[in-house]
Amino acid sequence: MIKIEHLNKIFNENRSNAYVALKDINLHIKPAQTVVIKGVSGSGKSTLLSIIATLIKPSSGSLMVDEQMIAKLPDTHASHFRNVHIGFIFQAFNLFDELSVKDNVAMPLIVSENRQERIDKKVLEAMELANITHKKDQSVHNLSGGEKQRCAIARALVHNPHIILCDEPTANLDRENSLKFIEILKSFKALGKTVVIATHDPLFDNLESVDRTILIEDGKIR
C-alpha cells in the first residue's frame, strides 16, 4: 500500500527562483494495483514518481509504503528501501551502453547480493521474464529500442521489488514495441506488483489492465 497525504514539493525553497512542483497531493494506491498518472510535460508526474522512489524528499506531507514512513528517510536507508522495494523503468532506459545485457540487469544486485551464483540465477530469471535472455551477452548499444526496453524491464524486476515505477516508458518506443510493453504490464499484474506509470501516451487510456488513471495538472491531482 502506498499512502500519500498532503504532500508538497517546492524546488529551490526559500529562494527567489522557488518553484512549486506538487501541491497537496493525496493518493492511496492498493497493493497489486496498476495506476497511470497522466499529465502534460512539467505537470509534476515525474516528481511524484521520484518522491515515491525516495530519490527526492518532499517539502512537506507524508508518504508511507507498507506502513513505513519513507518521506524523510536518510540517504542510506532510502537507498536500501529503493534497492529492496522499487523497480524503476525510465523513459530513456538509462542503461550502461558498454555493458552487456546481463551485467546491466545485475546492477541493482551489486549492493545487495554477495554470492555470484545467486546474482547469476536472479539475472537469468529476470531476463526470462522480460524475454531478453537470447541477447544476454550482447552490449546494450547493439540493441534495438524495444530490446533496450526489455533489458530495462529485466533490471527493474531482478531484485523482485513489489513496486514498479515507470516514467514515460513508451516515449522512446514505436507503436509495436509500445504495445508489447502494455502486454508486459499484464505480466506485472500477474506477478502481484504495484505499478505506477507516469505518461502522457494515449495508448494507456482505457486499458483493461489499468486499475486507476489519475490526472495531474500544475502539480495538483484533478
**CA distances to 6, 14, 153, 210 from 130, in Å:** 36, 45, 6, 19
Among 4, 7, 27, 109, binds another protein (CB under 8 A): 109
How many C-beta atoms lie closer than 10 Å to residue 200's C-beta? 14
Among 103, 125, 201, 211, binds another protein (CB under 8 A): 103
| For another protein, the closer CB: 105 or 129 | 105
Please report whether residue 160 would count as binding another protein according to CB under 8 A: no
Distance (Å, rounded) from C-alpha 54 to C-alpha 48? 10
**CA distances to 4, 10, 75, 183, 197 from 187, in Å:** 26, 36, 32, 7, 15
Grid coordinates standing for 101? 545485457
Map residue 215 onto helix, strand or coil.
strand
Q: Least distance to another protein from the beta carbon of 208, Å?
A: 30
Q: Least distance to another protein from the beta carbon of 77, Å?
A: 9
Please report whether residue 107 would count as binding another protein according to CB under 8 A: yes
Among 18, 40, 69, 110, binds another protein (CB under 8 A): 110
Among 14, 41, 114, 206, binds another protein (CB under 8 A): 114
Please report whether residue 98 would count as binding another protein according to CB under 8 A: yes
Q: Least distance to another protein from the beta carbon of 141, Å?
A: 12
Grid cell 538509462 — which residue? 94
Map residue 22 onto helix, strand or coil.
strand
Pattern of binders to another protein over 42-81, x per CB under 8 A?
A: ----xx--x--x-xx------------------xx-xxx-
Backbone φ, ψ for residue 65 (5° rounding):
-125, 120
Map residue 70 onto helix, strand or coil.
coil
| For another protein, the closer CB: 83 or 172 | 83
DSSP 95-145: --TTSBHHHHHHGGGGTT---HHHHHHHHHHHHHHTT-GGGTTSBGGGS-H
Please report whether residue 19 would count as binding another protein according to CB under 8 A: no
Q: What end-to-end distance do the CA atoms of the chain give, in Å?
A: 21
Which residue stretch of 97-105, 174-182, 185-193, 202-210 sits at the interface with another protein (rule: CB under 8 A)? 97-105
Q: Which residues contact another protein by CB under 8 A?
A: 46-47, 50, 53, 55-56, 75-76, 78-80, 82-84, 86, 88, 90, 92, 94-96, 98-99, 103, 106-116, 119, 155, 159
